Amino acid sequence: MLAPPSALPATPVPVASAPSGTSLAFDGSTIDGGWYTDVTQLARHSGHLLNDVMSAWSSYGLALFALLMLVVWWRARRADAATMARALAVPLVVVLVYGVDMILKSVVREVRPCRSIPHSFTLESCPAPSDWAFPSNHTVIAFSAATALLLLDRKLGALAFLAAVAMGFSRIWVGAHYPHDVAAGALVGVLVALPLAAASGRAAPWVERARSGRLRPLLAAD
């Protein structure tokens, strides 16, 4: 159980520069540092239960998207080969989008707000100086998964998008990201995942062939 806000005083965090041997990192506090501070101050003055829920969701909420992936795969066993191909591609799409996110992180090199803004209040330990903030990894993963799921099932996709919005907001609430980190994560997740997920149906011929082999129990419901 995470410590309550009263046990997490906002101690000064030195303004960070890039690790030794690298160029100066980007300070995103001038973009929306005020909004970040407003949200984290709400967290400071909120009850223990709300903060525990937000922290738990921020840390473990991505498990819901993994569960939804399993659900669409299971349902796709009774669907056509193109649907199964898209269902199988969801985790691959997320991995590919995550790779794009990591490239962006290494290019922008934005210092975490808990290191750029003195006296920041956070519900999580401030990440290492080399753990860049832009875009938000959790948000990218959540929105890329939601996008791929939406193309398979509108109801599950809508649920996934609501969960993705909650994930993004929780990352600001716990003090890990600026709002623009989350907004960028959502855009990257949707814009990169959409064409990848749409194209994944082209793998239907491979799925059809696999359904006649040893993998049939995983790909079709007899």
Query: Does 2 have pLDDT greater than 80?
Result: no
Query: 14 falls in which pLDDT band (50, 70, 90)?
Result: very low
Q: How many CB atoms lie within 10 A of CB 201?
A: 18
Tell me: the pLDDT tens digits for 162-202?
Answer: 999 999 999 999 999 999 999 999 999 999 999 999 999 88
Q: What is the maximum span of the chain, computed from C-alpha positions, in angstroms?
A: 62
User: pLDDT at position 8, please?
Assistant: 45
Query: Does 27 have pLDDT greater than 80?
Result: no
Distances 135 to 26, 108, 112, 158, 161 between C-alpha atoms, Å: 12, 9, 11, 23, 18
Tell me: the pLDDT tens digits for 142-161?
Answer: 999 999 999 999 999 999 99
- Token duo for residue 159: 């649920």
> Rounded to the nearest 5°, which phi and psi values hold at 220?
-150, 145
Give the C-alpha separation, 71 to 46, whole Å.
35
H helices within 2-80, ranges in order?
29-44, 48-60, 62-76
Total-model pTM: 0.82
Q: What is the mean pLDDT of the chain?
A: 85
User: Looking at residues 75-85, what average pLDDT do you find?
Assistant: 88
- Token duo for residue 93: 């799409």
For residue 84, give the nearest of 76, 75, 92 by alpha carbon. 76
Query: Does 9 have pLDDT greater than 60?
Result: no
Query: 127 falls in which pLDDT band (50, 70, 90)?
Result: confident
Query: Does 72 have pLDDT greater than 80?
Result: yes
For residue 84, give the nearest of 218, 187, 186 by alpha carbon. 218
For residue 121, give the nearest of 174, 59, 168, 170 by alpha carbon. 174
